[in-house]
Chains A and B, each alone.
Chain A
Amino acid sequence: MSATFRIAGAGRLKQAKIAGFSFDGRPYTGIEGDTLASALLANGVHLVGRSFKYHRPRGFLSAGAEEPNALVEIKRDAARKTPNVRATVQELYDGLTAQSQNRWPSLAFDIGAVSSIASPMLSAGFYYKTFMWPKAAWKNLYEPKIRAAAGLGVAPDQPDPDHYSARFAHCEVLVLGGGAAGIAAALAAAETGVRVILADEQAEFGGSLRFESGAKIEGQDGFSWAQSALAKLSAMDNVRVLPRTTAFGYYAQNFVGLVERVSDHLQSPGRDLPRERQWQVRAKRVVLATGAIERHMVFADNDRPGVMLASAARTYLNHYGVAVGRNIGVYTANDSAYAAAIDLKKAGINVAAIVDLRDNPTGPAIDEARALGIEVNFGRAVIRAGGKLRVSSMTVQPKNGGGERTIPVDAILMSAGWTPSVHLFSQSRGKVAFNDETKRFVPGIYAQDCVSVGACNGTDGLSATIDEAYAAGAKDAGSKPAKGTKPKVDASESWSRGMLGAAPGAGADATVKAFVDFQNDVTAKDIRQAVHEGMRSIEHVKRFTTNGMATDQGKTSNMHGLAIAAETLGKPIPQVGLTTFRAPYTPVTFGSIVGLARGPLFDPTRKTAIHPWAERQGAMFEDVGQWKRAWYFPKPGEDIHAAVDRECVTVRKTAGLFDASTLGKIEVVGPDAAKFMELLYTNPWEKLEPGRCRYGIMLREDGFIYDDGVVGRLAADRFHVTTTTGGAPRVMNHMEDYLQTEFPHLNVWLTSITEQWAVIAVQGPKSRDIIAPLVEGIDMSDEALPHMSVREGRICGVPTRLFRMSFSGERGFEVNVPADYGEAVWEALWAEGQKHGACAYGTESMHVLRAEKGYIIVGQDTDGTVTPNDAGLDWAVGKKKADFVGIRGMARPDLVAKGRKQLVGLKTRDPKVVLEEGAQIVADPKQAIPMKMIGHVTSSYWSQNCGRSIALGLVAGGRDRMGETLYVPMPNGVIEVEVTGMVFFDEKGERLNG
């Protein structure tokens, strides 16, 4: 199909480069430099979407980022499908494939449009009223149906294959918006030598100079001046120019988020290019040059395809060389639409009539329109647009009533005036002020170091804009005075203010649909109805009607909605107030927010020195915090149960090797190290001899268990503290906090040594036989190295801190070696272990072995509400100590009250039944539901060594219930359990020396 609406000699695109594309499967051609919107319009295509709620046929309203209607899906391949792309900002490339959304079976015939007929039921607040009953139907019927019928595009169902990058940047002046104002401000700032970033959401800079044919600066037409100024800026070392870049959020202390669309406009983006790049910019000063957005007129059926903003039609003509129709009507309440009519008329397009709501406007634009022979009607309103899939006529009536006249047209250009884009200013927490004379909200009180210039500041006229912007850019920017000169404006256009709210054609009667918010299908009637139903606050009106809540965030609708609400309430606009502007300014992809933080880069993965060995052995791994820990080591044919049973039995029969490197390790060093330990742990430390170890409990100030671990005293002034794997960072923070702020008089240094030492636990009756041959300088006899002691020496020729300790109840050692030697020492110990039939075991067997001995795991058997007494660890609290963190909290009335949940052992009546961790415990299973729950299971395993299941649980008054039968109700029946002590294996602890 040839592009029949392309006007020869109009626009700035070079006809040479033709791009083929498809829309809904039909092939078209456009020109390089087109947007999808301009290319479709060049082919006479206006119908591009169906509306959100009523499925009304929709066309292009705008030529920019404010577009509410023309949302399409852009598909590169099966995984690269982007829904809800505004066709007005999507640049065309050869081979682009676009599809319309929210229609079935086709765009021209959409079954969902019956909701338009049923629309009396779908008025404001209909969700809240209609779909209330029966309750279950919301989840099962209404919500799925509504979601299927309404809604925007469909999210892709495959992982996003594109990559996204992120950058931080700093500058003295950040200029947002690259129209005349932004360019002038950037020029002034750049000439002082400071770092400047200039960003604009469009592919080409120029802003409204793209369509303002009447602008002349420095002897050139406005757009050409913008391009030469930009070339000058781009060549400066201190300036970064970012096209296709949207400032989406303005945060505290001049921190601004930008998204740069790097490759969405390219036919085949190379794999080296990110799709988007997120910029996090910290600016000393921000210049807001975000312009203004034209408003539509609110009248009946103002959403018919072909009805669009006057400035959009002008942009399509003057920039893209496209006429939006052949016989055009204009409906306006201000001067700017006249310029559109004049430009189109000069390009040879018939302008059927201009309908101006104003009574007797005067000015050069009006004179010029008349001189060109365009019919101009004052004091009249368009009360209706004809046509369905495309506008076919406009019906005109004197605004105070009277005879109707229907004029055939194929496009209607509207302008109700311009709304300053104060979005970013408002996001910066600036307060807007209402100018009663111009009926505009403009920046009032600033909260941050920023300045608004040009149309977004309510400044009218190109000369005034450039004066203001140039002065703002030069102000305080740098040490050097600006050496350039302010751009001279030779000619410009001037616009008047226009109107807010519903025009006479918005109709009071219920059958008229005069749209305020196109994307969410909110009509003038809906807003009036919201007020009649009791909404008084504009925030309530917004939520009740959803006005301004769509993805366009009401860029064209908010002011109309506010004015209609104010009129219905009988209050002036500033008293009704503006809804809050929130980030993002335009929708931001998840990709650009996530950036590089996906897949392996989402979170760091920590691996121990012995990890490669475990991998080679075919270990299964589990995630513990950021660590990968060997979970179990299956032999061929073994499942987890078989592997864990074998590992547990082997450890108790001969020995096992376990990688304990992930345990947190902190070295506490200094003359006051013991004093510090006394304060941070419940246990006494002063009298612990160097070379001995102690199991320590750390509390929070509230008296609850925070962490635990074995601590070795290497010397009078040196402790080697171990923490739980997950607790290491918070324990370090807790210690530093007290050392720096509560006990700064103590002379102590804390050093995290978790990653410096690899730790190999060797547990089992043969453990000493395995280690001894490799150790130098340490007497391994029970007399010289009893249980709970530590020695420094060498193993395999490298330094070691050798702990004799046990988390299995067997004779056991933990061999600490510098991490770089971890794998080699493990290999040597493994070779020794093989001679004795030892195994490697993982975290699952470690858990079972410790549970068999009733050793707790902080965070599994405790939950932040468990005291040492609750956990049966009173013996580890120094009774004679005057102070330690938690000493007072522990004595709170509720923490010493009777009936607290205490940790006990649980044995099922049927030894083969393994309880579920987290299962609730009750005293009487026959009581009515909801039952009184008296505790829960914290740890539960099959113990091959005990030949039965074992469990630990927190039970109210648990230690007074020894031997009692309690019950665990489960979906498949009630499980009987007996309350027991916590030690299931070797109750006397003889095997520690076995």
Chain B
Amino acid sequence: MLLIRCPYCEEERPELEFRNAGEAHIARSPNIAGESDDDFEKFFFIRSNPKGIIYERWRHMHGCARFFNAVRDTVSDRFLMTYKAGEPKPAKLPGAAK
């Protein structure tokens, strides 16, 4: 069971309190109705599914109930950092897995 730091509660809590909510930083177009099929496909269906660093959304379901973003290494399952929803993708990541 993973330990996840909620950026709103500012503490590490067990994975049981959280739900994964898919990849992060996929913005919904303000003019979604006018989007082309290709653009909608990219927005709705295409995900990076990386081996390595993934930016993803989590919800502190059984805590503060806030959605937030996390950077996780899909190989080691290690969380590198978490940050609040709406904040930009971090430019620099803290030191990779030791």
- A contact set with B: CB distance below 8 Å: 251-253, 255, 280, 282, 429, 447, 701-702, 733, 736-737, 740-742, 744, 882-883, 887-889, 891-893
Pick from A252, A429, A889: contact of B44, CB under 8 Å: A889
With a CB–CB cut-off of 8 A, which chain B residues contact A251? 1
A893–B40 alpha-carbon span in the complex (Å): 12
Contact check, A252 vs B33: say whether CB atoms are below 8 A apart. Answer: no
Pick from B1, B28, B32, B76: contact of A447, CB under 8 Å: B76
Q: What is the chain A residue whose CB lies nearest that of B61?
A: A733
With a CB–CB cut-off of 8 A, which chain A residues contact B21? 737
A744–B28 alpha-carbon span in the complex (Å): 13
A891–B39 alpha-carbon span in the complex (Å): 13
B3 located at the interface, meaning its Cβ lies under 8 Å from any Cβ of chain A in the complex: yes
Contact check, A733 vs B59: say whether CB atoms are below 8 A apart. Answer: yes
Contact check, B86 vs A744: say whether CB atoms are below 8 A apart. Answer: yes
Contact check, A740 vs B76: say whether CB atoms are below 8 A apart. Answer: no
A446 to chain B, nearest CB (A): 8
Known contacts being A280-B1, A733-B59, A888-B32, is A252 close to B77, with CB within 8 Å? yes
- Which of B19, B33, B59 counts the most chain A CB atoms within 10 A? B33
A740–B58 alpha-carbon span in the complex (Å): 12
Contact check, B28 vs A742: say whether CB atoms are below 8 A apart. Answer: yes
A447–B78 alpha-carbon span in the complex (Å): 10
A251–B1 alpha-carbon span in the complex (Å): 7
C-beta contact mask, B17-30 vs A, less than 8 Å → 1, else 0? 00101000000101
Q: In B25-63, which residues have CB < 8 Å from any A CB?
A: 28, 30, 32-33, 35, 37, 40, 44, 57, 59, 61
Given contacts A282-B14, A733-B19, 20 further A-B contacts (CB under 8 A): A252-B77, A252-B78, A253-B1, A253-B2, A255-B1, A736-B65, A740-B66, A740-B67, A740-B85, A741-B57, A741-B67, A741-B86, A744-B86, A882-B33, A883-B32, A887-B32, A887-B33, A888-B33, A891-B33, A892-B40
A847–B84 alpha-carbon span in the complex (Å): 44
Can you give 9 A-B contacts (C-beta < 8 A)?
Answer: A252-B77, A255-B1, A255-B3, A740-B66, A740-B67, A741-B67, A888-B32, A888-B35, A889-B44
A728–B66 alpha-carbon span in the complex (Å): 18
Contact check, B3 vs A888: say whether CB atoms are below 8 A apart. Answer: no
The A-B contact count (CB < 8 A) is 54
Pick from A733, A740, A889: contact of B40, CB under 8 Å: A889
Contact check, A702 vs B44: say whether CB atoms are below 8 A apart. Answer: yes
B2 to chain A, nearest CB (A): 5
Contact check, A736 vs B44: say whether CB atoms are below 8 A apart. Answer: no
- Which of B2, B30, B67, B76 counts the most chain A CB atoms within 10 A? B67
With a CB–CB cut-off of 8 A, which chain B residues contact A741? 57, 67, 85-86
Pick from A282, A447, A737, A893: contact of B67, CB under 8 Å: A737
* Smallest CB-CB A-B distances: 4 pairs: A888-B32, A740-B67, A887-B33, A253-B3
Known contacts being A701-B44, A740-B67, A744-B85, is A892 close to B33, with CB within 8 Å? no
A867 to chain B, nearest CB (A): 15
B55 to chain A, nearest CB (A): 13
Give the size of the chain B interface in residues (CB under 8 angstroms). Answer: 26
With a CB–CB cut-off of 8 A, which chain A residues contact B67? 736-737, 740-741
A809 to chain B, nearest CB (A): 35
Pick from B19, B40, B61, B77: contact of A888, CB under 8 Å: B40
A742–B14 alpha-carbon span in the complex (Å): 27
With a CB–CB cut-off of 8 A, which chain B residues contact A889? 40, 44
Q: What is the chain A residue whose CB lies nearest that of B22?
A: A737
With a CB–CB cut-off of 8 A, which chain A residues contact B61? 733
A252–B40 alpha-carbon span in the complex (Å): 37
Q: What is the chain A residue whose CB lies nearest that of B29?
A: A888
Contact check, A893 vs B37: say whether CB atoms are below 8 A apart. Answer: yes
With a CB–CB cut-off of 8 A, which chain A residues contact B1? 251-253, 255, 280
A251–B3 alpha-carbon span in the complex (Å): 11
Q: What is the chain B residue whose CB lies nearest that of A732?
A: B65
B7 to chain A, nearest CB (A): 13
With a CB–CB cut-off of 8 A, which chain B residues contact A736? 59, 65, 67
With a CB–CB cut-off of 8 A, which chain B residues contact A883? 30, 32-33
A252–B65 alpha-carbon span in the complex (Å): 24
A253–B14 alpha-carbon span in the complex (Å): 10
A18 to chain B, nearest CB (A): 46
With a CB–CB cut-off of 8 A, which chain B residues contact A255? 1, 3
A882–B35 alpha-carbon span in the complex (Å): 12
With a CB–CB cut-off of 8 A, which chain A residues contact B28? 701, 742
A888–B44 alpha-carbon span in the complex (Å): 10
Q: What is the chain A residue whose CB lies nearest that of B24?
A: A741
Contact check, A429 vs B40: say whether CB atoms are below 8 A apart. Answer: no
- Which of A280, A888, A889 counts the most chain B CB atoms within 10 A? A888
Q: What is the chain A residue whose CB lies nearest that of B86?
A: A744
Q: What is the chain A residue whose CB lies nearest that of B40?
A: A888
With a CB–CB cut-off of 8 A, which chain A residues contact B32? 883, 887-888
A580 to chain B, nearest CB (A): 16
With a CB–CB cut-off of 8 A, which chain A residues contact B57? 741
A700 to chain B, nearest CB (A): 10
A887–B40 alpha-carbon span in the complex (Å): 11
A737–B21 alpha-carbon span in the complex (Å): 9
B84 to chain A, nearest CB (A): 10
A737–B28 alpha-carbon span in the complex (Å): 12
A733–B57 alpha-carbon span in the complex (Å): 13
A888–B40 alpha-carbon span in the complex (Å): 8
Q: What is the chain A residue whose CB lies nearest that of B75?
A: A429
With a CB–CB cut-off of 8 A, which chain B residues contact A893? 37
A893–B66 alpha-carbon span in the complex (Å): 35
